[in-house]
């Protein structure tokens, strides 16, 4: 899961266009959010589908569901064709309501502008490719683990990395626990490297085997920033200015 402290919502405008970026469409971002939410609601993790039962039966169905569609590192490198697809399918599976809502909030906040800058086709390939590689990198580092890894956070971390390069001046509203959750606004070039630093520290302290995939976050973030640098460094980066919109609230 992408976590745990920062953004909620921000308004930003393209300097050149002079209009609110959120008024422009971002169909791929919205479609990704819709698909992830729909799959979660009809799957066993939401606990709303009576077909999966309840109690121990529901827990067993959840484990089987995550094992089927999630990344199991110990199985990924055995050469089975089905396992090779799991770093893609895992991007659309989430383990809990908090996991889903946190990831979708970050996808909405940072995905809209990034999609508009890249374009729909490029953004789609970027999201899927970086998400796949982020989970693959995590699995390679935990190749003996038999636990399932699910979630879109590797792909969303790539969006954060690209956003940092493309919109370093965008103002992001952050709620920091050590500052009593006061809503403060910082530019992306402050917030996102700080977030990446937290992932680095957490990855170093993480227990053996999958849990919160901090390493996948780092791999995705690096891939996203590297792609944006390689693809857009020859063009002028878009500087954003805050729009007169109300500030949001923190993610779960």
Q: How many helices (H) and strands (E) does the chain have?
A: 9, 4
First to last CA, the chain: 11
Q: How, if at all, do strands 183-187 and 171-175 pair?
A: antiparallel
Cα distances (Å, whole numbers) of residue 139 to 57, 134, 184: 28, 9, 36
User: Which residue of the set 6, 148, 153, 157 is catalytic?
Assistant: 153
Distance CA 67, CA 246 (A): 41
Is 217 one of the annotated active-site residues of the chain? yes
User: Which residue of the set 148, 157, 174, 217 is catalytic?
Assistant: 217
Is 148 one of the annotated active-site residues of the chain? no
Structural element, H or E, at residue 241: strand 240-242
Distance CA 139, CA 86 (A): 11
Cβ contact 238:14 at 8 Å: yes
> Which residues are part of the catalytic machinery?
153, 217
């Amino acid at each position: 899961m992408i976590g745990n402290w920062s953004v909620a919502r921000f308004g930003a405008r393209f300097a050149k266009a002079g209009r609110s970026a959120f008024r422009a469409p971002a169909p791929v971002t919205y479609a990704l959010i819709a698909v992830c939410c729909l799959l979660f609601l009809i799957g066993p993790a939401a606990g709303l589908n009576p077909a999966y039962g309840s109690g121990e039966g529901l827990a067993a169905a959840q484990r089987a569901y995550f094992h089927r569609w999630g990344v199991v590192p110990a199985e990924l490198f055995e050469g089975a064709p089905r396992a090779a697809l799991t770093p893609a399918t895992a991007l659309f599976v989430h383990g809990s309501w908090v996991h889903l809502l946190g990831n979708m909030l970050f996808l909405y906040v940072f995905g809209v502008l990034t999609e508009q800058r890249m374009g729909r086709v490029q953004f789609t390939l970027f999201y899927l490719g970086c998400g796949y590689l982020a989970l693959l990198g995590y699995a390679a580092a935990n190749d003996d683990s038999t636990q399932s890894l699910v979630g879109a956070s590797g792909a969303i971390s790539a969006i954060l990395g690209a956003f940092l390069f493309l919109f370093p001046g965008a103002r992001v509203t952050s709620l920091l626990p050590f500052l009593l959750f006061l809503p403060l606004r910082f530019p992306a070039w402050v917030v996102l490297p700080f977030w990446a630093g937290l992932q680095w520290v957490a990855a170093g302290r993480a227990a053996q085997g999958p849990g919160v995939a901090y390493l996948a976050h780092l791999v995705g973030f690096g891939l996203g920033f590297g792609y944006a640098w390689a693809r857009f460094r020859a063009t002028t980066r878009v500087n954003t200015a805050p729009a007169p919109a109300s500030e949001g609230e923190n993610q779960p």
